[in-house]
Amino acid sequence: DIADQLRRRAPQRGDKWHLDEVVLTIGGHKHYLWRAVDQDGFVPDVLVQSRRDAQAAKRLLRKLLKQQGRAPRVLVTDKLTSYGAAKRAIMPGVEHRQHKGRNNRAENSHQPTRRRERQRKRFKDPAQAQRFLSIHDPIANLFHLRRDHRTAAEYREARIQAFQLWAEVAGAPLVA
């Protein structure tokens, strides 16, 4: 799978995770898209759940720990109490910052999903939404190149490397 190969080849991500959830309407029913974003704006993983409780938050944290292989230094969330309960159960030593305004990085990360949801007239079922979103984010991470503190030449080199990696993983020839 392309997304799995991209995840395996991705560099180590930041140690500050922003967590957030947003409501999606899938097949006429409410579901929650749980998303983690690191301090650089990269999305390590997403999870579509039918509930918004501590059990769903624990499932997201377990999935993130399994994929990342290490716990974050800081966890930033909104005021939802499920995050606190899940963090106490799974990562008791991690600093937890709950603040309404500090979680904008995760809130902004939902915008492309919202746009897609409106354009496609909603996702059809939760499994399809999970499949699409878990494939979309590693690809978006690959081409999410930060411009700050980079010269134009460094940025061009990073883009070339991203396209070369995409060509390797996708098995498509690179067109000059």
pLDDT value of residue 133: 81
Which residues of the chain fall below pLDDT 70?
11, 101-122, 172-176
- 58 Cβ contact partners less than 8 Å away, ≥ 6 residues apart: 85, 86, 89, 90
Domain assignments of the chain as residue spans, ordered by start: 2-144
The DSSP symbol for 41 reads: S
Q: Identify the sign of the CA torsion 72, 73, 78, 84.
A: positive
CA distances to 42, 142, 152, 164, 170 from 160, in Å:
19, 11, 12, 6, 15
Tell me what pLDDT residue 95 has: 93
Q: 2-144: which CATH topology? A: Nucleotidyltransferase; domain 5 (3.30.420)
Q: Are 132 and 120 in contact (CB under 8 A)?
A: no
> In this predicted structure, what is the pLDDT of residue 105?
58
Q: What is the pLDDT of residues 16-35, one digit of tens each?
A: 998 888 888 888 889 998 98
